[in-house]
Structure 1
């Protein structure tokens, strides 16, 4: 029964609403479905009511064709029924950052005549909780002329800024209703691989923003060995439960809302809803607070993880549309990408599979699909992750971005992408090689390593490393250049550097040791071998920065190259070293290289039989 809160009398919907008014419907798992069903069944003469809302679960009956005379839909985030209605021209989609939607209500851009929400029963002080979805619900409550609430005993009582008093409610509809749940999804190999790559970017003490779906679940699965993580996220899902119980997520290192997991809504299982019920360690705040880029940036080491529908080779991100068909919404992606970018040591990430589910269409594209809109600009993107690796775009030129993104595209599309970007002279002709991986390094193509307490990682040289390799070369002193090349080399041109990083890693080998600096990368050591088909051998060489010597980096590079050469069944490894280069000779001798006579007094010829 719908009743007036003050008089307790039964009222009709036509007593509360008028045709042509604008109403708001509560978000996500807090959609007051029982009350909406009652409205549809008892609308009487009401017509043309505009409905504004975010994602609503489990279904949006007001968007069905049969209810088109009663409701006109204007959604900020699309799902099944609203997606179809917009595609058919029966509904509208209004793109807006989640952090700014409350201002549309508060400033009268979209004034609300009524807010239809779902709350918990009141406590002894008369306060109801907005439960699992505070987000823009609280802004709607504060700005609407009328507040009509479904009181649901199944709604958890969440902590934070989630409470409204009975006096703020004009009419009540009491109905018990199970909250909609999201079934757990079995992770596939592609998603697992993405999760592992993203986890490599998360350092101990980071604060996380995670969405819902397979990729966030995969990331959380690979964070079990991390320490002192925090959460500041527009939403959380089931994956945080075990990490909070294991003390992996404890929020101790957060620099904003220290000690608390901060969110604005949750979607998941009943277990998750029970977990947040009265939990003092989780606090819910309005979206204008949680999603404010300024507030997000107050967390040092902020890691933002968002997905996309497609990304072009310049870094433009499409996230709310497939061609001309609007699919979802802007949501909080831009809020958190920008907030993480502003954070001290922040890491904004776009993570997506390299292809569509059937593997027939690349999600890394030379140009955006006609009709698609850019949600996150190329200037905002720092990291893009697929199952083929991590592309770092910040501060990169268009050429470097294209090479980085082609590297993490599906291998069957890489040559096609390279040919496409060449047409616009984004990548020069002398950049010959499309990227190849080194399977012997493992599924991730990356190996974390520690030298003298300093964290680095071993990976192949990539085509986009051309500038980093130049910087590495010019960091050497004359003695290093003489020892490495047996004569004093004075320059490394862009063309030559491109040639050195354009390696067919299935035949030759070029590895580097990388150190992260601020939000970028720096080469600290390089090892490579060149394959000799005539006798199934290879010639090997390596060089390490002067400042890093004596830490075991040269041995690590050579050891890895020996293991790879053995796995590829090469017959032997060869090296030529100056007689006065004792440190390099000692490294080769450590791994069993034997000196052989070849008649050249300027160099010592070394061989390792495999």
Structure 2
């Protein structure tokens, strides 16, 4: 038996001037329904249209409708909405995505009607909200009248996406495609950011991500991971390749295992076809998906969000460019909070280091005048740019400033260090800013698998001051005597700062670190000191006692040899205590030759770099 549809809307019986009306958004705006209202709006004025991000033709925000409508958006998107907000014809209401539903349910923003785009009813009379369950379901549950556009191009999605035809007061039938958004091309900056972010993702992790170049690049580099899960407010086309690769199984998820969980989708027709009648992808309201305690039920939750700027204390600006509101809070704080309290979770802020053709640094000494903080400095754990990963959790203001300067664009690092010095966050002896090692390439971080454990090799930098001091005090007297040829008693912060503040274009200092969450410990350090007159260098390294015999020193030495060869250095010199047989063996395995000195207690070894294998 055919399901009887509700009547066509008689707008003057459904709403009145001054009503507050919700409009479904993202890629599933009911355009034909909005147009039907416009065409039957005689006598109406001052209708407030409330919505989330709305893509496509947001005609209600055009100036010619300013007497009829005033938009109130929770997320600014699209030129018409942005211009209307800038000109005061529309409002922007900042709110966490998880809490928008409470504005409807507690009467803060009481809704007279909700306009939504739904699939045709099934044989039992259930219509699906399709690709835009998000806050639409909350609006439907908390409004006076539900008016629907019955649209056969709306996909039927699994989860809590259904409303019964009996809940719909009035409807029109209109077939319209959902807005399609093609994945943006991935440039070299996004590529490098994606590589760095992927290094923070372990097998079995659960992911949240947004839309844009950086999420696309990150997901590209996760295709060889295993048993990933997805719990994300949004799905984009980037997920298609990740699902096809087999990297996503959802079986390690600890909340909704076996299922992709989301609340809306924005992408191409291919994505909308993927979610249509797919029992493995479930859509739930944002109040459920974005609830931080629900997010935290996923162990190893990785939240990947972006920003417009980050200041040197870790404050994140994400919704405004100065006084100009640009987007919205969205789900960033929800997922940063949820990932922070997840067992093994990691909240990540990823952004390019510069804007406007590298003329503006996005890592700033202070937030711009008029800009607002979306995510506080207390919430941020990782900030990733194309220059690396800054780990901020548990860091002092001075330490996090140095971490963030390290991932800023090189041409802004000196300026940023000078700016923080004005506020006494950096002591007088901290004179040098971080430099990269060009020979390591665009990615300065190398992931190492050593006897089944994950470590990272990277340049030593000023932010490692305290870590190097801890490394020194972890050594036994014997290790210190063999390394320094005497028994040093102290490693002051000033001395440690001097050792980590390296001009890597001349001398080179590398370290191998172990990272457990935000806790980073140095396991081995290798360096060479250039003697420019003779075009030679002296090389040395030291390894934490618990890691000796695992090949860390050899890895560091081989990398240093490669760098020396690329720089055209003629010879590498090493001076080792005669009793330090393991270190001598490492050098000789790298083809260093003993040089006779007449003193068996001190061994000098030499490598002809040009002929090194």
TM-score bracket, normalised by the shorter chain, equals over 0.9
CA contact (8 A) 2:146 2:170 kept: yes
Which 10-residue stretch deviates more, 81-90 or 391-400? 81-90
Instruction: Please give the alpha-carbon distance, in whole angstroms, between the structure 2 residues aligned to 1:496 and 1:312.
Output: 28
Work out whether residues 9 and 171 of structure 2, in 8 Å CA contact, stay in contact via their aligned partners in 1: no
Structure 1 contact 28–55 (Cα < 8 Å) conserved: yes
Corresponding residue of 1:110: 109
Q: 2:69 aligned with 1:43, yes or no?
A: no
* 1:568 and 2:567 matched: yes
Q: 1:443 to 1:7 in 2, by over 3 A?
A: closer
> In 2, distance between residues paired with 1:595 and 1:219?
47
Give the C-alpha shift of residue 12 in structure 1.
2.7
Q: Match of 2:461?
A: 462
Residue in structure 2 matched with residue 504 of structure 1 by the alignment: 503
Q: Deviations over 1:245-265 (max 9, x none)?
A: 221111011111100000000
After TM superposition, the score normalised by the length of structure 1 is 0.98
Contact 1:14 1:44 in 2 (8 A): no
Name the residue aligned to 1:530. Answer: 529
Does residue 15 (structure 1) correspond to residue 13 (structure 2)? The answer is yes
Contact 1:297–1:340 under 8 Å retained in 2: yes
2:295 — aligned with what? Answer: 296
8 Å contact from structure 2 (residues 146, 168) kept in 1: yes
What is the alpha-carbon distance in structure 2 between the residues aligned to residue 243 and residue 303 of structure 1?
Answer: 15
Residues 571-598 of structure 1 deviation map (CA, whole Å, 9 limit, x = unaligned)? 1011111111111111111111122234
Say which of 51, 55, 60 aligns to 2:58.
60
Who is 1:159 aligned against?
Answer: 158
State the distance in 2 between where 1:542 and 1:138 align: 61
Q: What corresponds to 1:603 in structure 2?
A: 602
SS in 2 for 1:100: helix
> In the TM superposition, what are the counterparts of 1:221-370 in structure 2 within 5 Å?
221-370=220-369
Residue 393 (structure 1) aligned with residue 408 (structure 2)? no
Q: Distance in 2 between matches of 1:375 and 1:59?
A: 28
Any idea what the Cα deviations from partners look like across 1:199-257, whole Å, max 9, x if unmatched? 11111111100101111111111111111111000001011112212211110111111
Contact 1:151-1:175 within 8 A present in 2 as well: yes
CA displacement at 1:429 relative to structure 2: 2.4
Deviation (angstroms), 1:358: 1.7
Aligned to 2:68: 70
The aligned counterpart of 1:96 is 95
- Deviation (angstroms), 1:184: 2.6
Deviation of 1:601 (Å): 5.4
For 2:600 and 2:425, locate their aligned partners in 1 and report how far apart those are by CA, in whole Å.
46
Task: Give yes or no for the alignment of 1:577 onto 2:576.
Answer: yes
Q: Any idea what the Cα deviations from partners look like across 1:501-549, whole Å, max 9, x if unmatched?
A: 0000110010000111233211100001100011001111100011111
CA RMSD after TM alignment = 1.3
Unaligned runs of 5+ in 2: none
Q: Does the C-alpha gap of structure 1 residues 578 and 145 become closer, same or farther in structure 2, counting only changes over 3 Å?
A: same
Asked if the contact 1:240/1:249 (under 8 Å) is kept, the reply is no
Q: Any conservation in 2 of the 1:6–1:170 contact (CA below 8 Å)? A: no
CA distance in 1, matches of 2:6, 2:550: 78
CA–CA distance in 2 between the matches of 1:360 and 1:191? Answer: 18
2:474 maps to what in 1?
475
What's the secondary structure of 2:390's corresponding residue?
strand
Whether the 8 Å contact between 1:345 and 1:519 is mirrored in structure 2 is no
State the Cα distance separating 1:441 from its structure 2 match: 2.0
Q: Secondary structure at the match of 1:540?
A: strand
What's the offset of the Cα at 1:607? 1.1
User: Would you say the 8 A contact 2:7–2:169 is kept in 1?
Assistant: no
Bigger CA drift: 52-61 or 158-167?
52-61
The worse-fitting range, judged by mean Cα deviation, of 53-62 and 10-19 is: 10-19
Match of 2:30 in 1: 32
| SS of match in other structure, 2:361 | coil
Report if aligned partners of 2:573, 2:606 keep a CA contact under 8 Å in 1: yes
C-alpha change, 1:344 and 1:69, in structure 2 (3 Å) is: same
Contact conserved, 2:9 with 2:147, CA < 8 A, in 1? Answer: no
For 1:486, the equivalent position in structure 2 comes to 485
Q: CA deviation at 1:446?
A: 1.3
Question: Cα offset for 1:9?
Answer: 4.7
- SS across alignment from 1:349: strand
Q: Is the 8 A contact 1:115 1:141 kept in 2?
A: yes
Q: TM-score, normalised by structure 2?
A: 0.97
Size of the alignment, in residue pairs?
606
1:113 match: secondary structure: strand
Query: 1:233 and 1:8, CA in 2 relative to 1: closer, same or farther beyond 3 A?
Result: closer
Task: Tell me by how many angstroms 1:272 deviates.
Answer: 0.2
